[in-house]
């Protein structure tokens, strides 16, 4: 039996593998990657490396074995049909008879277009008959803390979320939840709504950033259309900018507030506060 993590050199997948190595022997972990060079460090630590691509179904032939526990980390190629990509993994897992297929989804409350592929994948996974766990990950602190340079440069946090709030946490928090499921028992056919313990709004984010930097940072509210234009101006492709602007509209409606407590219960600890994530980012 192996614990298999797809997208294992991505932001979330790598954290999952790192945390797995704290709990199980390296030879029980398989990292699925597209570019083996990026996984050289994991291979050196004894992790098994499998090279496969969501866009090439044949690369998943024979990759899984009966009894494996698999984490399907959702793809980020929004223009390549993510449900079809994920179906490749589901089909291969079904053919092998894996013990569990966990999937990193989106909160059930999120109605933005971003969630469509996740809902489609959930439907495919349930239809497969495989034992499953839906890890409905909320938003990441890093979605905002990794892009602080222009905020600090212009003294403004620009968003189209109005007074909406969201329950974000760090990628490491969500990775810990995945590890708890992959190494624990009793998670079959369960759905977890995952989010940070404390919801916050962008006015609070701006205030906290001001406090930590000593620089006055304002929250500047714009329309969804204006925010999309800002993102395009920053270099994002139009379709992706539209998806992210749509998420801000969902935040204003409260669709990214997750108050289930599932994340801290799964990990056995409180989620990382936003202030701590900001402090970590500012240290660089």
Return d(Cα 235, Cα 237) in angstroms, integer.
7
Return d(Cα 56, Cα 167) in angstroms, integer.
35
- The pLDDT value given to residue 78: 72
Provide the percentage of residues in the chain whose pLDDT is more than 70: 99
Assigned token pair, 29: 């972990």
Q: How far is CA 101 from the centre of its chain?
A: 16
Assigned token pair, 17: 């593998």
Q: Are 34 and 46 in contact (CB under 8 A)?
A: no
pLDDT in tens, 99-109: 999 999 999 99
Region 18-31: mean pLDDT is 98
Region 30-43: mean pLDDT is 96
Strand-pair partners of 51: 33
- The pLDDT value given to residue 188: 98
- The pLDDT value given to residue 169: 98
pLDDT above 90: residue 76: no
pLDDT above 80: residue 44: yes
């Amino acid at each position: 039996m192996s614990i298999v993590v797809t997208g294992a050199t991505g932001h979330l997948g790598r954290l999952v593998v790192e945390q797995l190595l704290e709990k199980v022997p390296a030879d029980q972990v398989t990292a699925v990657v597209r570019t083996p060079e990026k996984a050289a460090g994991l291979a050196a630590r004894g992790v098994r490396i499998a090279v496969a691509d969501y866009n090439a179904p044949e690369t998943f032939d024979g990759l899984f074995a009966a009894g494996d526990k698999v984490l399907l980390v959702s793809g980020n190629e929004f223009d390549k049909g993510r449900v079809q990509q994920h179906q490749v993994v589901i089909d291969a897992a079904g053919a092998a008879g894996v013990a569990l297929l966990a999937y990193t989804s989106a909160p059930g409350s999120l109605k933005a277009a971003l969630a469509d592929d996740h809902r489609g994948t959930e439907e495919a996974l349930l239809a497969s008959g495989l034992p499953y766990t839906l890890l409905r990950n909320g938003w990441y602190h890093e979605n905002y803390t990794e892009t602080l340079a222009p905020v600090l440069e212009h003294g403004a946090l620009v968003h189209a979320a109005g007074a909406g709030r969201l329950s974000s946490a760090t990628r490491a928090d969500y990775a810990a939840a995945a590890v708890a499921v992959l190494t624990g028992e009793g998670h079959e056919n369960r759905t977890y709504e995952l989010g940070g313990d404390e919801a916050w709004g962008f006015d609070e984010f701006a205030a906290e950033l001001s406090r930590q930097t000593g620089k006055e940072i304002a929250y500047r509210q714009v329309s969804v259309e204006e925010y999309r234009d800002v993102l395009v101006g920053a270099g994002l492709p139009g379709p992706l900018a539209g998806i992210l602007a749509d998420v801000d509209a969902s935040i204003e409606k409260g669709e990214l507030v997750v108050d289930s407590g599932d994340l801290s219960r799964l990990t056995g600890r409180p989620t990382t506060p936003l202030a701590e994530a900001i402090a970590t980012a500012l240290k660089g």
